Amino acid sequence: MPFKTFFRWDLRSLILLLTLLTALVTLLNSFHASYRVQYQLLIDNALEANLAYASKLASSTETYLQASQQQLAYAANLLARDFDDIAFLDAEAARLRLQTNTFNSVIVTNAQGVVLSTSPDTLQIVGRKLQSEGAAAALRERKPLISSPYISSTNNLIIFVSHPVFDRGGNYLGLVGGSIYLKHKSILNELLGEHYYKNGSYLYVVDANRRLLYHPDADRVGTIVGANSLIDSFAYRQSGTQRVINSKGQDMLAGFATVPSAHWGIVAQRSTEATLEGLNDLLLSMFAKTVPLAIVSFILIWWFSRIIAQPLKQLAAGAHRLSEPETSAHIQGVRSWYFESSELKRALLIGLNLLHERLGKLNHDIQTDPLTGLRNRRGLDLAVTLWQAEKRPFAVVAIDIDHFKQVNDRFGHAVGDEVLQALAELMRGCSRDNDVVCRSGGEEFFMLLPGATPEAAARVAERLRSVVEETTFETIRHMTVSMGVAAWPLHSENAARVFEVADEQLYRAKQGGRNRICVALADGVKSSA
């Protein structure tokens, strides 16, 4: 029997085939879109989490180093009163070492670098002149100093934190210093070694000379890191994220931050493979829940296709053109004269609307900061790209809350979040409908003013500054903001450079006393209180 006689291409078969193909294309497109969105979200979330962790550790390490310098400064002041009393020097050296786990050893030297006192006594270097790199630099500089890490005569990798000792007449008597052994137990080692994330991520620390100061593999501590684009970026970035290939050839998602006083870089990273390991299971789960419903729908369509051929043909044609803008109007115009076709028509319209709503919501969520409802950095970049394509000038106002860290430290992060949300509302109130208001991270915000000159942007900034200063906030009562203003393309054809100029003006405002605005004009910098 000929194939064409056995299988007859009637209208019902064509409707079934068209319905099947349409469902398959839509399903594959949905899976592909879901995969790409989930993939990027996992990557972005991992990068942001590693950045937050590295920044927190860098901040804690900076606080620790500053505290160690404060301990030495206090001890130097005490020692200056009776520098000739060796018993007193011994007692003070012992106190510095034993009071906390800050230092592994403590020494006191005279102005020539000869050791007067040590703790512990086992060092056996009293009366000898120090020759180590850290001590030599401290004696030469005669100021508070954190040395670069170096290998000591006892083959320990250490840093030397020191403070000069001056008498009341300002005469240099010597120094008091503490050694921190990077491979031995100390507060610093515990701070870096206590890793709270149990998701396969890890961290390492390098100094300005690319020497590893901390690494999960203890054998690598003290070695020099070779070519690494992430470490190269420490010279010009204080923090950031980057996708890199590590020394073992693994694809890693890294966040980093620097420790300013010691010029160290802290890197937290996790393998891309570990980050994405749950993605395939998620898609399989979606597939398992979607396929049965698709099969049931196909059987129902096949059963009723004979008597509903004409309406279904029109609806199937509409379903085949879901991506076209006039599809909704076409489906709305189908004459559904019986209940089933009417319901299918309604379902298609609802599904189309939901698809558009969810895609719109997804696009909105990707570009929106969840805490404040303002645009995030991605939304800001999209606006800048569009305006550059349109050759539309715009002004940038960089905004930072003054002393925001004190708010978090004193009142807690929940109150800090409320302050950020309150500032976001004030920024919305001081902006126009076509302005872009963005939170770039932490307490840093941007306002983009299309078509505005630096002078006009400065007026908007002043209005916001005044409103913030005059507003009484719940819990913290009062706060102020500092701002920097720049414009594209007045200050640079490169939009990224314009944001840097605005940040530089913001820094000037901070340095100038805060609660003020610094504007980058064509002929110089204008500052406004």
Distances in whole angstroms, Cα of residue 161 to Cα of each of 5, 73, 113, 148, 512: 94, 11, 15, 10, 31
Distances in whole angstroms, Cα of residue 292 to Cα of each of 19, 286, 310: 16, 11, 26
Strands 481-488 and 202-206: unpaired
The C-alpha atoms of residue 485 and residue 449 are separated, in whole angstroms, by: 11
501-523 core/surface letters (b: 16 or more CB in 10 A; e: else): bbbbbbebbbeeeebbbbbbbee
Residue 147, token pair as written in the block: 């040395």
Q: Which domains does the chain have, with CATH numbers?
A: 3-43+284-366 (no CATH), 66-181 (3.30.450.20), 186-275 (3.30.450.20), 377-528 (3.30.70.270)
Reported in sequence order, the residue ranges of 144-263 that DSSP labels E, i.e. its strands, are 145-146, 150-151, 157-166, 172-181, 202-206, 212-214, 239-245, 251-259
Tokens 């800048």 belong to 384
DSSP string, 203-226: EEEE-TT-BEEE-SSGGGTTPBP-
Q: What is the pTM of this model?
A: 0.48
The C-alpha atoms of residue 58 and residue 205 are separated, in whole angstroms, by: 10
Do 266 and 57 contact (CB within 8 A), yes or no? Answer: yes
Residue 356, token pair as written in the block: 């558009």
pLDDT tens digits, the chain, 529 residues: what are they? 454 544 556 556 666 677 777 767 777 777 777 778 888 888 888 888 888 888 888 888 888 888 888 999 999 999 998 898 999 999 999 999 888 878 888 999 999 989 999 988 777 788 888 888 888 888 888 999 988 888 776 677 788 899 999 998 889 999 999 988 877 766 666 666 655 555 667 888 888 888 887 877 777 877 888 777 788 777 778 888 888 887 777 888 888 888 888 788 888 888 888 888 877 777 777 777 777 776 777 677 666 666 556 666 666 666 666 666 676 666 666 777 666 667 776 776 666 655 555 554 545 667 788 888 888 888 888 888 888 888 899 999 999 999 888 888 888 888 888 889 888 899 888 888 889 999 988 888 999 999 999 999 999 999 999 999 998 888 888 889 999 999 999 898 898 999 999 999 999 999 988 999 999 876 555 555 5
Residue 162, token pair as written in the block: 């020191």
The C-alpha atoms of residue 305 and residue 301 are separated, in whole angstroms, by: 6
